[in-house]
């Protein structure tokens, strides 16, 4: 005879199994239909001459560096490949309601989606995500979480605690909030937002060893807090190219976009370098941040600054630089004034012993031109930690009017193109050069000058 507790557990397990199977069926139908939509997009991309030109330039540049070896860690979707049939966009666990919503949007067609962009009360109808009931969210660790993974999780949590109005606080044991669990073969995955909107416990799965990077963990926490992927935004194609030829057929659905009227972008610009969007402002009176910083959610007198800026209001350029303990090769940044003559700038930071996913060395240089002048930059050399997506470090060059937008990141010699020299224009008379290293040494050599537009 089963006890009442055993009966309840059995019923709960059966309910979860049925829900998972229902989601898998809905997702399978959604992916089948969205793949047809993406085929239309693929035909449009085949006609994109600018994309073809860029791809040719990349191939020519890489051909001139045949010995170049790029480190390439597995992506989240590659780690989760065995679970694609039950995940949305490679790492998102959906509720039945969310899976049904996605299927409805692709089934009803574009015209029908436009009509359903608002509900009967005129409120914008977006992807269904439940908010957490409180700004303080408890978290706990499953008993089998190893110490190294705990360290990475704590680092990722601090990124969210420092930069948003939320507070994730460890409670052990806990029957509510987020539980981090390490189960072999489960991949890296999370629900989007709160599963029920009330006190309950939900898991973030982090498989060893692929998910042991603080960036991946911060990404999955972002999902649990209610954020979707940046590349899902309606304006994605304005900022990046999606290349169907590089994507497995069964993975095409990971690159769909939410319709304009259904996408919650938090009024933030598309950010190529952000793990997820930041949270909303919480003070009644907004502090006036400089240099495109934004208000610290937990302080009405301080700002979170773009890379290269410092001070309570982001009013200063951060020229001090930083290196973790034991790193011998440090550097100092500077504020540089462009002239009509070429000036050389060399940067180098890190050491052969540097190998950290939770701390890094950095240095910043700001280049300014006279009013009415623009800046030309020639990048002459880049090294040394060459890696796909430049995750181990890079030279970042920001020239946009909005200083909060991520810039061009370089870390491999072939990034400079087939000529070995990359030309960059700074049309607003400003450039921020940032050098980062998580792994070994990063360096660059460039030169700059000002001239009339």
The 10s digit of each residue's pLDDT in 391-431 is: 888 999 999 988 988 899 999 999 998 888 999 999 999 99
pLDDT tens per residue across span 15-66: 778 888 999 999 888 888 877 766 666 666 666 777 778 778 878 887 878 7
Average of per-residue pLDDT across 261-275: 64
Q: Is-above-0.85 flag for pTM?
A: no
Instruction: Based on the residue annotation, tell me whether 220 is a catalytic residue of this protein.
Output: yes
Report the distance separating Cα 410 and Cα 431, nearest Å.
15
Q: Using only C-alpha atoms, what is the Rg of the chain? A: 24
Please give the residue that has the higher pLDDT: either 243 or 143.
143
- Which residues are within 8 A (CB) of 290 and not within 5 positions of it... i.e. 6 or more apart? 303, 309, 313, 314, 315
Q: Is 95 helix (H, G, I), strand (E, B) or coil?
A: coil
Q: Binding site: what residues are annotated? A: 219, 223, 229
pLDDT at 291 over 70: yes
| 15-119+131-262 to CATH, choices 3.30.2290.10, 3.40.50.150, 3.30.70.260, 3.40.390.10 | 3.40.390.10
Task: Return the C-alpha torsion angle 224, 228, 231, 234, nearest 10.
Answer: -170
Does residue 278 carry a pLDDT above 50? no
Buried b (16+ CB within 10 A) or exposed e, 389-402: ebbbbbbbbbbbee
Convert the pLDDT of each residue in 367-385 to its tens digit: 999 999 999 999 999 988 8
**Of 170 and 327, the one with more pLDDT:** 170
pLDDT at 334: 95
pLDDT, averaged across the chain: 81
- CA 421 to each of CA 26, 378, 415, 426: distance values in angstroms, whole numbers, following the listed order: 50, 7, 9, 16
Structure tokens at 102: 């996605």
First and final CA of the chain: distance in angstroms?
85
The domain ranges of the chain are 15-119+131-262, 334-452
For 199, other C-beta atoms within 10 Å of its C-beta total 14
Question: Annotated catalytic residue: which of 86, 125, 220, 396?
Answer: 220
State how far the Cα of 280 lies from the Cα of 294, in Å rounded to an integer: 10
Token pair of 97 as six digits: 């309601």
Annotated binding site for Zn(2+): 219, 223, 229
Nearest to 255 by CA among 12, 7, 45: 45
> Residue written as tokens 């994730």?
168
Q: Is the pLDDT of residue 294 over 60?
A: yes
Q: Is 260 helix (H, G, I), strand (E, B) or coil?
A: helix
Q: What is the dihedral of CA 179, 180, 186, 191, to 10 degrees?
A: 60
Q: Cα(452)–Cα(246) distance, rounded to whole angstroms?
A: 41
Question: Is the pLDDT confidence value at 284 over 50?
Answer: no
Angle at alpha carbon of residue 258, lines to 256 and 264, rounded to 5°:
140
Percent of the chain's residues with pLDDT above 70 = 80
CA 416 to chain centre: 24
pLDDT over 90, % of the chain? 27
| Interval 176-196: pLDDT, tens | 889 999 888 888 999 998 887
Superfamily of structural domain 334-452: Spermadhesin, CUB domain (2.60.120.290)
- CA-CA distance, 226 to 193, in Å (whole number)? 4
Task: For residue 442, give the 3-state DSSP assignment.
Answer: strand
DSSP structure string for 375-418: EEEEEEEEEE--BGGGTTEEEEEE-SSSTTS--EEE-SGGGGTT
């Amino acid at each position: 005879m089963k006890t009442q507790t055993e009966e309840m557990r059995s019923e709960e397990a059966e309910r979860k199994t049925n829900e998972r199977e229902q989601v898998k069926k809905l997702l399978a139908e959604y992916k089948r239909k969205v793949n047809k939509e993406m085929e239309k997009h693929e035909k449009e991309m085949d006609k994109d001459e600018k994309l073809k030109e860029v791809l040719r330039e990349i191939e020519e540049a890489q051909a001139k560096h045949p010995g170049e070896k790029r480190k390439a860690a597995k992506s989240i979707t590659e780690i989760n490949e065995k679970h694609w049939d039950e995940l949305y966009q490679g790492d998102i666990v959906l509720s039945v309601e969310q899976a049904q919503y996605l299927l409805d949007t692709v089934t009803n067609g574009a015209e029908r989606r436009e009509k359903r962009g608002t509900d009967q009360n005129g409120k914008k109808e977006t992807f269904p995500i439940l908010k957490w009931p409180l700004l303080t969210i408890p978290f706990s660790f499953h008993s089998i979480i190893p110490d190294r993974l705990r360290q990475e999780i704590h680092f990722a949590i601090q990124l969210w605690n420092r930069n948003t109005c939320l507070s994730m606080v460890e409670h052990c044991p806990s029957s509510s909030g987020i539980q981090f669990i390490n189960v072999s073969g489960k991949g890296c995955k999370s629900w989007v937002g709160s599963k029920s909107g009330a006190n309950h416990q939900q898991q973030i799965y982090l498989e060893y060893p692929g998910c042991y990077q603080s960036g991946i963990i911060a990404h999955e926490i972002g999902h649990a807090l209610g954020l979707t992927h940046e590349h899902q935004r309606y304006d994605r194609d304005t900022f990046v190219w999606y290349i169907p030829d590089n994507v497995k057929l069964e993975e095409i659905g990971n690159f769909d976009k939410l319709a304009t009227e259904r996408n919650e972008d938090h009024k933030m610009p598309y950010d190529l370098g952000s793990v997820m969007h930041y949270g909303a402002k919480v003070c009644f009176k907004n502090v006036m941040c400089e240099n495109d910083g934004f208000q610290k959610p937990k302080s009405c007198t301080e700002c979170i600054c773009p890379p290269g800026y410092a001070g309570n209001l982001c009013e200063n350029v951060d020229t001090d630089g930083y290196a973790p303990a034991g790193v011998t090769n440090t550097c100092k940044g500077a504020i540089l004034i462009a002239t009509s003559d070429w000036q050389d700038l060399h940067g180098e930071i890190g050491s052969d012993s540097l190998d950290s996913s939770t701390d890094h060395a950095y240095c910043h240089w700001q280049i300014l031109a006279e009013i009415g002048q623009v800046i030309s930059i020639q990048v002459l050399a880049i090294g040394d930690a060459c890696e796909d997506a430049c995750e181990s470090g890079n030279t970042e060059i920001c020239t946009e009017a909005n200083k909060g937008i991520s810039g061009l990141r370089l870390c491999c010699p072939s990034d400079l193109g087939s000529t070995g020299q990359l030309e960059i224009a700074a049309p607003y008379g400003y450039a921020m050069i940032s050098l980062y290293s998580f792994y070994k040494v990063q360096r660059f050599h460039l030169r700059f000058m000002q001239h009339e537009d």
